[in-house]
Amino acid sequence: MKQLTIGNKTFTNRFFLGTGKFASSEQTKAALTASETELVTVALTRVHEGNSSGDDILKAIDRSKVEVMLNTSGARNADEAVRIAKIGKAAGFNWIKIEVHPDARYLLPDPVETLEAVRACAKLGMVVLPYINADPVLARHCEDAGAAAVMPLGSPIGSNRGIRTRDMIEIIVEQSHVPVVVDAGIGLPSHAAEAIELGADAVLANTAVAAAGDPVKMAEAFKLAVRAAELALEAKPPRTSTTANATSPMDIFK
């Protein structure tokens, strides 16, 4: 596969990891190590500046190896998202995941407010990755507004339901000029592999890893699944067919 570059950074690992819901910062750290991820998302609401308590997620992250992308989780509109982005930028974080989900039940992203926030944050010179519904038209609007990548959802956040938006993601992949990162709803390593197989540039998961019985092992499983799918694409899989094709063909004619 071609090299993955988002913003000014090139990635060798296409698996990105969220940092919420872990049992301790030690566990977060161990999962990050096992995943070999190069990009993590962190909610600004969990970041302590100055007076750091025991639950500060940043403690678990080696920022020399891993890019930190703050997310605007909790924002209900563009104003709040941009405010979070500005707080983050002032604290030295230039990567921002725009996450605007006013509806607390399904956490579905608000397309109108998200687009507005993308435009504003791009103007601030930030590397902006919007979390969006798998809407190809919206993806193009986000691209035009300055998004460095688009992050369509597979299914609602934390639902572990896998990729229910496959057809739309395929269109986004086909049309996008910026990388496509499938985010949300990825519940199993096979879902992550599926995202890569259908052409996404990377996958982001969190709940599937953090809520697993053994998050460290699950982090490794995701890394391997994403890498396996990437290798398989490079290996150029044969076409599918509706009839059998014998592995040892018996030709009746000489």
Partner 1 sequence: MFPHLKYSEADVDGYISGVAPEMVEASIAKERHDWFDLLNLLSGAARPFVPEMRRLAQVVRRRYYGKTVSVYAPLYIGNTCINSCRYCDFRRQHTGTVRRNLTLDEIRAEAEAIRKTGIDSLLVVAGEDPKVNTVAHLAEVGRLLKTIFSYLALEVAPQSEDGYRELFAAGFEGLTCFQETYDQTLYREMHPAGPKADYDWRLDTQLRAGRAGFRILGCAFLLGLGPWRREAASLAAHAFYLMKECYEAKVQFAFPRICRVDGGFVPPCEVDDADLEQMMLAFRIVFPQCCMTVSTREAPAFRDRIVLTAADNMSAGSRVTPGGYAVLGKERSADVAQFTLSDGRSPSEVFAAIRANGQEVVFKNWDNRI
Question: Which one of 5, 103, 125, 174 is in contact with partner 1 (CB under 8 A)?
Answer: 103
Q: How far is the CB of 110 from partner 1 (least distance, A)?
A: 10
Q: Does 20 bind partner 1 (CB under 8 A)?
A: yes
Q: Does 112 bind partner 1 (CB under 8 A)?
A: no
Site for partner 1 in 117-146 (CB under 8 A): none
Site for partner 1 in 199-218 (CB under 8 A): 207, 210-211
Q: How far is the CB of 135 from partner 1 (least distance, A)?
A: 20
Within 13 Å of residue 237, how many CA atoms lie on the same side as its CB? 11
Q: Does 44 bind partner 1 (CB under 8 A)?
A: yes
Smaller CB separation from partner 1, 56 or 170: 56
Q: Are 95 and 69 in contact (CB under 8 A)?
A: yes
DSSP code of 238? Answer: P
Select the span of 3-11, 53-61, 147-155, 225-233 touching partner 1 (CB under 8 A): 53-61
Select the span of 71-79, 142-150, 162-170, 195-203 touching partner 1 (CB under 8 A): 71-79
Q: Does 24 bind partner 1 (CB under 8 A)?
A: yes
Token couple for 120 = 């504003």
Give the CA distances from residue 116 to residues 35, 37, 59, in Å, rounded to whole numbers and listed in that order. Answer: 33, 29, 32
Token couple for 53 = 């308590």
Question: Which one of 75, 148, 195, 229 is in contact with partner 1 (CB under 8 A)?
Answer: 75
Instruction: With H, G, I as helix, E, B as strand and everything else as coil, classify residue 89.
Output: helix
Smaller CB separation from partner 1, 176 or 207: 207
Q: Does 104 bind partner 1 (CB under 8 A)?
A: yes
Q: Does 153 bind partner 1 (CB under 8 A)?
A: no
Catalytic residues, by residue number, are 97
Q: CA angle, 199 as apex, 139 and 213 as ends, to 5°?
A: 95
Q: Which alpha helices (H) appear in 91-147, and where do they start and end? A: 111-123, 136-145
Burial pattern 64-88, b for ≥16 Cβ within 10 A else e, equals eebbbbbbbbebebbebbbebbeeb
Give the CA distances from residue 192 to residues 186, 198, 225, in Å, rounded to whole numbers and listed in that order. Answer: 6, 10, 7
* Cβ-Cβ contacts under 8 Å for 191 (sequence gap 6 or more): 154, 162, 163, 185, 208
Q: Does 23 bind partner 1 (CB under 8 A)?
A: yes
Smaller CB separation from partner 1, 46 or 164: 46
Binding site for partner 1 (CB under 8 A): 20-25, 27, 44-48, 53-56, 74-76, 80, 83-84, 87, 102-105, 107, 158-160, 207, 210-211
